[in-house]
Each structure stands twice: as C-alpha cells, then as structure tokens.
Amino acid sequence: MPRLNRSGSGDAVWAISADRVIGIGVDTTGSTPMPVDRDGTPLACLPKFKKNPNAMAWLWKDHTGYAEAAEITDKARQARPQFLAKCGGTYSSEWFWSKILHCKRVAPDVFAAAHSFVEYCDYIPAVLAGNTRPESIVRGICAAGHKAMYCEEWGGLPDKEFLAMLDPDLAGLRDRLYNQAVPSDRLAGRLCDVWAKKLGLKPGIAIAVGAFDAHMGGVGAGIREGTLVKILGTSTCDMMVMRADKPLADIPGVCGIVKGSILPDCYGIEAGQSAVGDIFLWFVNHLVPSSYGRSQDQKFIALAKAAAKQKPGAHGLMALDWNNGNRTILVDVRLSGLLLGQTLHTEAHEIYRALIEATAFGALTIINRIEEYGVPVKEIVNCGGLAVKNPLLMQIYADVTGRPMKISRSDQTCAVGAALFGAVAAGPDVSGFQTVGEAQDAICGVRSKVFNPDPAAHAVYAEMYTLYRQLHDAFGTAEWSGRMNQVMKQLIAIRERQR
Amino acid sequence: MPRLNRSGSGDAVWAISADRVIGIGVDTTGSTPMPVDRDGTPLACLPKFKKNPNAMAWLWKDHTGYAEAAEITDKARQARPQFLAKCGGTYSSEWFWSKILHCKRVAPDVFAAAHSFVEYCDYIPAVLAGNTRPESIVRGICAAGHKAMYCEEWGGLPDKEFLAMLDPDLAGLRDRLYNQAVPSDRLAGRLCDVWAKKLGLKPGIAIAVGAFDAHMGGVGAGIREGTLVKILGTSTCDMMVMRADKPLADIPGVCGIVKGSILPDCYGIEAGQSAVGDIFLWFVNHLVPSSYGRSQDQKFIALAKAAAKQKPGAHGLMALDWNNGNRTILVDVRLSGLLLGQTLHTEAHEIYRALIEATAFGALTIINRIEEYGVPVKEIVNCGGLAVKNPLLMQIYADVTGRPMKISRSDQTCAVGAALFGAVAAGPDVSGFQTVGEAQDAICGVRSKVFNPDPAAHAVYAEMYTLYRQLHDAFGTAEWSGRMNQVMKQLIAIRERQR
C-alpha cells in the first residue's frame, strides 16, 4: 500500500487499485435497531410500512423510549441488578430494549410484523455479505454488550423471564434475536458478487464484524491501556480499554463496560456526553446576531476569535452542558441546559465560551469518575470534527482538565479504525497483521500539534469546576432533598402537557 | 384648562397659553447624588473636575458602592438596626451613603472638594428657583427617606456617631447636608426671573418640592390605599401607600417605607425590580438573530408575535430576572441572571417569553411579600413604556399574578404626577385643589382596556411559580446551606479578578 501524499490535515491519501483492497470494516451510529421481516428486509422497505416512522431505523439519539428505559431500569434494579452494573446503573432511552419496548407500545402493528430487530452496524456487513436473514447475521459484541445487555456471564441477552416482566412479547422476540455476539476482528462474512460488482471490489474479500463509530474511532486513534480517546462531534464518546485478564470494578454512571467491544482482549469502557457540537450549533443557529457574521461559518469564526481573547472566568458565566440530557455520569435524558451569571452586558461570544467550558467540565467529570474507579487516564487522544476544527475548544479542554490534548492524525479516525478491522479480519496471511495492536502500530498516530494546559488558566478553571460541581450535583442528583433535582424535570413535564 | 383633544394613546392634549401655567413639579431618577461646592455649583461643572466621572452625578443604577453598602448594612445591623428596618433590612449600593462613601474612598479629592451632596431631584427645583446654595435647597422627603436613611423618629439623617463609624469625614459632611425634608405638596421655591425667561413662563409661579420619578408616577397613576402602581421601564418600581395614622409593620426586603414620600399623609412603600425592560433590550441587542428582523423594533415585534402563540410553559424554560441583581425582596446586587431548561431546539422567542415570565414571577414575589406584611393589594395600575407598548407582557403579568392589569391613561404618568404637585404646591387659591387626592380625582385615570387573567394560564403559572421560588430561594438566600447562594457571587468574584 504505497503512501503517495500526505495532506496538511494529517490524512494520508492512498492511491491503490481496487484489487488490492483485502477487507471491509463497517462502523455506524448506535444503538440503531431496525425492525426486519423473516428475510431480513427492513419493514420500512415494505410498501405497507413505507411511510411509518416507527418501522424505520430507531436512530441513536431518539429518546422517545424514556418511560420504557425507566421501567427497564426499575425492573432490573429489583430482579437483575447485574444487568445494570455493566451499564452504569441506569438503562438508557437511547438503547436497544427501550426502543423496542417503546415500539411495541406505540406501534404494535410494526412490532407484530417484525420478525427480528437488527442493529444497523450488524446489518450493513450482512448486506455486503449477501445474506440478511436474521438468524444468519453475525452480531457484534459492541452493540450487543453496550446497548442490549448482552453478557456471557448471564448467557447472552437478558433471559426470557426478565423480558416477560416487561412484556411477554419481548420474551417471544428473544428467540428470534441471537445467542452469540463477537468482536470486530472476526469475520461477518465475505463480499458477495452483487456488492463486489457495485463497489468495484473483489468478491470474497473479508468483511469484519460491525461496531459503533466511536468504538472504531477509539481503535483508529490508537487506543491502548491508559489512553482515553475522545470522539468529539455533535455528541461525544469517551473510550477506554482495560486488559480483560485483570479485575475491573463496575463504574457507576458510565454507559458500559463490555469485554471485546473495542479491542478483542480488553474490556471496552464507553462514556460520553449527549451533546457537545450540537450545543454550539444550536447556539449559533438560534441565538447569535448578524453582528458576528451572516453565515454559520462566519459566526463560528467570529465567536471563536472574540472568545479566545477572554481570560478564563472573565465572563462570569457558568453553563451546564445538558441541552440533550446527560449521558455520563448522571444517565438522565430528562435534564436540560442551564446558563448562569448573565448580566445586562453579556455578549454572545462570552456565552459561546461558557458553553465550550461547560462541555469541558462535563468531560472532566467523566475523567474523574473513571479514575476514581481504578482506571488511570495517562494520555488523551481526541478525534472527530471538533478536535480537528476547533483549536479554542482543544485549548480550553487542556486548561480545564490540566492535561495535554493530542489529536489523532486522521480526519476520519473512525473510518481508519473500521478499515483496520477489515484488514485484521482478513487474517495475517492476507494482511500481515497478527493482532489489532500490530495494525494500530502500523496505521495509527497523532499530530505534532499538542494542546498543553496553561497552569494559570488551569488554576482558575479548578476554582470554577467546584462551582460547576455544585450546579451539577444540585440539578443532577437527588442529594439536595430532591428539590433542585426536580426543577428541570417538572418543567419538561409542563412543557409536554402544554405543547 | 380646556381639553381640546384626546389622543388614542390616552393622553389629553392641552392647549394652554404659558401664562396659565401655575406651577412646576419636578421628578428625576434617584438616588442620584451630586457633589457641589459652597455655591451649589456641581463639581463636574468646574474646570478642575470636568473630566472626572467621580465628580459627576452618581446615577441611580450605579452599583460600584456595593462594598460600602455591605459595610453600612453591617454597621447599622450592629449599632442602628432601626435604620435598616425602614429600608427592607439591607442598605443598597444604589443609595446615597453608599455612593458618597465610595466617592470618599475612590476619589478623596472629589470628596474633599465637595461642600455638600445634593440629590438631582432636589437640585433642579433649586435651579429653577434661582438659589442652589446647599443650605437653601429644600430637600424632598422622598429622596431623603428612601435613600439617605432620613426619618423623623431618629431626628433626620443618621447621627454623627454612626456616620463616624463609617468614616469620620461623613460625620463632618452631615453638618453640610440638611436637617429637614418635606413632601412634594410643599413649595421648593418660586420660579426665578432668569428661568422664567428661558422657559417662557411667568416668574414667581410655584415650584413643588422634587421627588423621584416612580413616586410621582404613583401619584399620577391615581395611587390610593390598596392600589399598587407599577412603573414599568428599563427597571421597575412598585409603589403603594398606607394611611400614616394606622400602624404599619416593617416589610423585610422592601426597599423603603417613608412617611410622605408619595402622598403627604401616607406611608409611601417602594419596592422594585432592578431590571425589566433592560433585560429584554439586552436579549434583543445581543442574542437575537436576524431571522427575527433587522432592527431592534422589528425583532421585538417578531419575538412578541411568536411568543404570544405559545402556551404557558410550552417552552419548558425558566429564568431568573436578576441580570442587574435583585432589588426586592433579596436586596442583593451581586446576583445574576439564570436560564434553565434549554434544549437543542430552544428558540429566541421562547427565551424572550421566559424572560418576560421571569420578571412577572419577580413581580408576584413582591406582591406576595407586601401582602404577607399586612398591606392588601386590591388593584394594580401600570404605567411606563412597557405597560403601554407591550400587551404580551401585560397579559403574562395578569396570568402570572392572577390579577387584572390596568394601565394609567397617560403615556407620561410620572410627569402627570409631578405636574399635579406643581398645581397643589401653588395652593388652593390658585389651583382650586385643596388636597393631592382632589387633584388626582380630577386628573388621573386608567384606560378602558384591562388585561384580565386567563384562569387556565394562571393555573399553569401557579405551578411554574413554585419552581421559580425554588430557584429564587436556592440562588438568592442562604437557606440552602449557603452553597447555591454563593455560586453567582463566586463567579462574579472570579470575573472581577480575571477582567
């Protein structure tokens, strides 16, 4: 694979002929379950359900199953506490069973027509392999373990007895799901003739088992023990690994700990923030006047320029980064945003800086929680659009956390991780890689530019973080006699009634 | 005084010749003390101090004396608790002694050059009467009682011993201030020849003792026992009266209770919100994109139109109206704004509505406090720019408080009140008015349009108000172990250090 050119942004441009492609790896968003029929055809592709949103893929950021999530959490807390321990103590509305149970309730016709449900990241490899019959689809441990409460300890998916407590039909569905899920260094199948022709690739090349974009991104960024990989986009995922031969405590409030979900022989630890880039987009699109520019891009540039001139705390503001709920460590979608400290002189770029800082404080809260439970963070590698495009954000993250921020070399780190698994799944005889680690050593790297913390800025942010934690705990936990904890949720309840 | 025309806005247009003007009344903002020399010339008019802001009038919204205000409050709490009881329990940074003590400390040269300090509302009548020598200026009870801790009970201004605790030079200044302050139905003097010529009026006509705009507005709006007059502008004043022959308890957190400050024979009760219209102006000027219009006016119209379509609570937002601190009932300038409940879909007009609602909740908090201390509110009459120009705000105020909102007939209610005192001060032989009440009956009135509360909206707002009170108490009082109470102030402290 001759390297022909390296672009300024860090991505190598490879010019290779199609017949030298040895494997394909697939990453998608998730949890994104799709209802399919007996042949594996998505119901949304059938005429009957074509216009029915409930028959479409249930996208990862869909929180409509929040009541079902609470019910699953409650029932598991009573009957199967071990299920919750592996997913941070709370089952999320964004996950597999919440969505399927919600589908059963709001669209019983869709549920009844669904022979099975398949995660999007498992479905695409099956399509490429030419066999989407649900019983033939190879399921990835990433989606199964992080979103569907699959664990070898208790025999795979949740048992029928538990599922029947939620809905008898869920117990019935279990027989039409799967009994095994595997890491992404394994083969999902081989490229079928139809798709080989469409893609101009050789038929029969390896297709690796699919996984979520963030997990693939962790691998593409060179994840190893002690490395926190942050995938910074509209929302954020934080990935870490711990060798599976060492004991690892459950970490309360951390989305999931799943063996093999990132690297085959390690526990994959996933945390994240429900909205980061999305908050900035919301702010710029809805609350920034034209004095900062006309287009979204112009506004972002002007905001960053003005915000970069400010000293930490000089705006007197503090925000909570919960415009789309809190994924880690509170695992509560019914939280909302907060901005505090505005005067009659507060300007948009000051709020923009406060919003970036809020996401940095959220990031620090996750790091602290992971370290408190025995997983040291020795290095942070960032990837995703924000890491590459927003130097102000990277500097603030360094200053808030007091740690250097490295950036993965590629602009498409998740794709690099997926491709890497394509090579590994092809086997050492074809790729030359015995292990994922070997492939990482050959492929992954960070940029020369590292954002180092400024000690003076870090000192101010340390002071501000104690204030952030007061707001975080008051509005996010029940410690404060439950009163402040309820303000956001009661407002949401009123909102839903009045809309 | 023949009434020739009545404009749609409610103001009568009087066509009278200048020689029929029988008196002048003056209202100004306050507390706005000015340092003057022995002749009564403002120091700012002398070449030496021309460019020195500390030698200029200390405008009412100036909070720079917040440390001095805290010191005055502390000292009075220990040594003269009676002083505080009459001004709500806390002496404000916006008031006379805070500003003068702050002047002494930051500009000792200005303080040393000041023979005396004169409130702007006392100064203008003295100018018109042609004698500004400090010892000749008639001082109004309104400014003296509400801002300078003047009370007949303790012999006028604070005693020298107390002032010396703050600064020995303040005790010295006391001799060059005043010993008596009187209501506005009394003569400040008679129009001097120089000013009669400038104004084209008859020399020798009555000039009433000056008072603050809000107090004059109360009178112009027809204030009487049971009537709450709200003067709604950039900030807001709430005025009430109670007959002085009945006992009246001190009301904690209410800015002031002063005999004669509104109507001569009544206690004048003053409360208020530090920013109302100012918050909307800030929001429109700094955080509303051009999709709502280009000009400020266009934006206000579009915001109001979109906000009016929303049901109460449908935005899921809650704000605290403290962008410029809280005047009543917390009396704390070092509080700041808060917005809670924003999602990734929150739009500017929803925030605009939430800000209006926040000021309404603040208004309700004041009403509740006044009523809790035995002053029933039987009627609410609004005046000022917002009352006249913002029907959405008036309807939300009605819905939040559950009370009808009336609007004073005049667009210039404060000026009507001042003019009314000009007539009364001229005496019954000239004006025909024996009392202020008689003059009010003849001159004041409300518009036919009354904003009545919608019961369904009021029910939702009642629910939301309990949430507002949780935020109000958590961030505004020390009840919550002082932790949340300190968040806003610590951010301000960091802000000041970092700027």
CB contact under 8 A, A346 and B286: yes
- Listed residue (B321, B328, B342, B323) closest to B253, CA to CA: B328
pLDDT of residue A270: 92
* Closest CB from A290, A314, A488 relative to B499: A314
Residue of A nearest to B61 (CA): A344
What is the Cα–Cα distance from A275 to A233, expressed in whole angstroms? 8
Q: Is the pLDDT of residue B4 over 50?
A: no
Structure token digits, residue B74 = 């502390």
pLDDT-based confidence at A13, cuts 50/70/90? low
CB contact under 8 A, B290 and A290: yes
ipTM (interface predicted TM) = 0.88
pLDDT-based confidence at A355, cuts 50/70/90? very high
Residue B327 touches chain A, beta carbons under 8 Å: no
H-only helix segments in A130-203: 141-147, 160-166, 168-174, 193-199
* Closest CB from B286, B312, B460 relative to A348: B286
CB contact under 8 A, B499 and A311: yes
> In this structure, are residues B92 and B327 in contact, taking their beta carbons and an 8 Å threshold?
yes
B 329-358 residues inside an 8 A Cβ radius of A: 336-348, 351
Residue B234 touches chain A, beta carbons under 8 Å: no
Q: Is the pLDDT of residue A396 over 50?
A: yes
Query: pLDDT digit string (tens) for A176-196?
Result: 999 999 999 999 999 999 999
pLDDT of residue A252: 86
B 459-478 residues inside an 8 A Cβ radius of A: 460, 463-464, 467, 470-471, 474-475
What is the Cα–Cα distance from A431 to A22, expressed in whole angstroms? 7
3-state class (DSSP) for residue B342: strand
**Residue A371 φ then ψ, to 5°:** -70, -40
Q: Is the pLDDT of residue A230 over 70?
A: yes
- Give whole-number Cα distances, B336 to B426, B475, B491, in Å: 45, 9, 9
Average pLDDT for B371-391? 95
- The enclosing H or E element of A302 equals helix A296-308
Query: pLDDT digit string (tens) for B47-102?
Result: 999 999 999 999 988 989 999 999 999 999 999 999 998 887 889 898 999 999 99
Secondary structure in 3-state letters for B440-487: HHHHCCECCCCECCCHHHHHHHHHHHHHHHHHHHHHHCCCCCCHHHHH
A434-446 burial, b if ≥16 CB within 10 A, otherwise e?
Answer: eebbebbeebbbb
Q: Is the pLDDT of residue A131 over 50?
A: yes
- Listed residue (A14, A135, A26) closest to A422, CA to CA: A26
User: In this structure, which amino acid lies at residue B271?
Assistant: A
Q: Is the pLDDT of residue B3 over 60?
A: no
> In this structure, are residues B191 and B24 in contact, taking their beta carbons and an 8 Å threshold?
yes
B 262-281 residues inside an 8 A Cβ radius of A: 275, 278-279, 281
What is the Cα–Cα distance from A238 to A382, expressed in whole angstroms? 9
Residue B324 touches chain A, beta carbons under 8 Å: yes
Q: Is the pLDDT of residue A153 over 50?
A: yes
pLDDT of residue B427: 96
> In this structure, are residues B258 and B267 in contact, taking their beta carbons and an 8 Å threshold?
yes
pLDDT of residue B2: 33
What is the Cα–Cα distance from B474 to B465, expressed in whole angstroms? 14
What is the Cα–Cα distance from B216 to B262, expressed in whole angstroms? 7
Query: pLDDT digit string (tens) for B334-370?
Result: 899 999 999 999 999 999 999 999 999 999 999 999 9
Structure token digits, residue A463 = 């002071």
Residue A479 touches chain B, beta carbons under 8 Å: no
Helix A413-426 and helix A436-443, axial crossing angle in degrees, nearest 10? 130
Q: Is the pLDDT of residue B235 over 80?
A: yes
Q: What is the β-pairing status of strands A318-320 and B181-182? A: unpaired
User: In this structure, which amino acid lies at residue A103?
Assistant: C
What is the Cα–Cα distance from A107 to A120, expressed in whole angstroms? 20
Residue B131 touches chain A, beta carbons under 8 Å: no
A245-250: list long-range contacts, CB under 8 Å, 24+ apart: A248/A374, A248/A375, A249/A373, A249/A374, A250/A85, A250/A86, A250/A373
**Chain A residues near residue B490 by CB distance under 8 angstroms:** 463, 467
Average pLDDT for A55-65? 92
Q: Is A17 exposed, middle or buried (0-12, 13-18, 19+ CB in 10 A)?
A: exposed
**Residue B229 φ then ψ, to 5°:** -105, 125
Query: pLDDT digit string (tens) for B152-201?
Result: 999 999 999 999 999 999 999 999 999 999 999 999 999 999 999 999 99
CB contact under 8 A, B495 and A315: yes
3-state class (DSSP) for residue B413: helix
> In this structure, are residues A39 and A132 in contact, taking their beta carbons and an 8 Å threshold?
yes
What is the Cα–Cα distance from A221 to A219, expressed in whole angstroms? 5
- Express the helix, strand and coil content of chain B in percent, nearest 5 each: 45, 15, 35
A19 CA to centre of own chain = 33
Residue B303 touches chain A, beta carbons under 8 Å: no
pLDDT of residue B497: 86
Q: Is the pLDDT of residue B273 over 50?
A: yes
- Listed residue (B267, B263, B268, B217) closest to B435, CA to CA: B263
* Closest CB from B341, B346, B494 relative to A464: B494
pTM here is: 0.89
Q: How far B450 CA lies from chain A's nearest CA (Å)?
A: 26
Secondary structure in 3-state letters for A196-240: HHHHCCCCCCEEECCEEHHHHHHHHCCCCCCEEEEEECCCEEEEE
Dihedral over Cα of A171, A176, A181, A184: its sign? negative
What is the Cα–Cα distance from B440 to A119, expressed in whole angstroms? 76
Residue of A nearest to B459 (CA): A494
Query: pLDDT digit string (tens) for B439-473?
Result: 999 999 999 999 999 999 999 999 999 999 999 99
**Chain A residues near residue B347 by CB distance under 8 angstroms:** 286
Q: How far B471 CA lies from chain A's nearest CA (Å)?
A: 8
pLDDT-based confidence at B6, cuts 50/70/90? very low
A16: preceding bond cis by omega (within 30 degrees): no
pLDDT of residue B344: 96
Q: Is the pLDDT of residue A7 over 60?
A: no
CB contact under 8 A, A342 and B351: no
What is the Cα–Cα distance from A126 to A140, expressed in whole angstroms? 11
pLDDT of residue A395: 98
Helix B348-372 and helix A277-287, axial crossing angle in degrees, nearest 10? 80
Helix A348-372 and helix B277-287, axial crossing angle in degrees, nearest 10? 80
What is the Cα–Cα distance from A27 to A408, expressed in whole angstroms? 18
pLDDT-based confidence at B14, cuts 50/70/90? low
**Chain A residues near residue B499 by CB distance under 8 angstroms:** 311, 314
Residue B315 touches chain A, beta carbons under 8 Å: yes
Domains annotated on chain A, with CATH = 26-183 (3.30.420.40), 224-409+446-499 (3.30.420.40)
| Lowest mean per-residue pLDDT among A67-71, A253-257, B215-219 | A253-257
pLDDT-based confidence at B251, cuts 50/70/90? confident
CB contact under 8 A, A282 and B487: no
- The enclosing H or E element of A361 equals helix A348-372
pLDDT-based confidence at B484, cuts 50/70/90? confident
- The enclosing H or E element of A423 equals helix A413-426
**Backbone φ/ψ region at A226: left (φ over 0), alpha (ψ -120 to 50), beta:** left
> DSSP assignment, residue B159?
P
> In this structure, are residues A92 and A253 in contact, taking their beta carbons and an 8 Å threshold?
no
Mean pLDDT of chain A: 93
Q: How far A122 CA lies from chain B's nearest CA (Å)?
A: 30
Residue of B nearest to A345 (CA): B282
Residue B15 touches chain A, beta carbons under 8 Å: no
Residue of B nearest to A61 (CA): B344
Helix A436-443 and helix A213-220, axial crossing angle in degrees, nearest 10? 70
**Chain A residues near residue B342 by CB distance under 8 angstroms:** 323, 336-339
What is the Cα–Cα distance from A75 to A163, expressed in whole angstroms? 10
pLDDT of residue A486: 82
pLDDT of residue B9: 47
pLDDT of residue B490: 85
Mutation target for B interface from A340, A359, A477: give the one with most B CBs within 10 A.
A340
Q: What is the β-pairing status of strands A3-6 and A12-14? A: antiparallel
Residues pairing with B405 in the sheet: B451
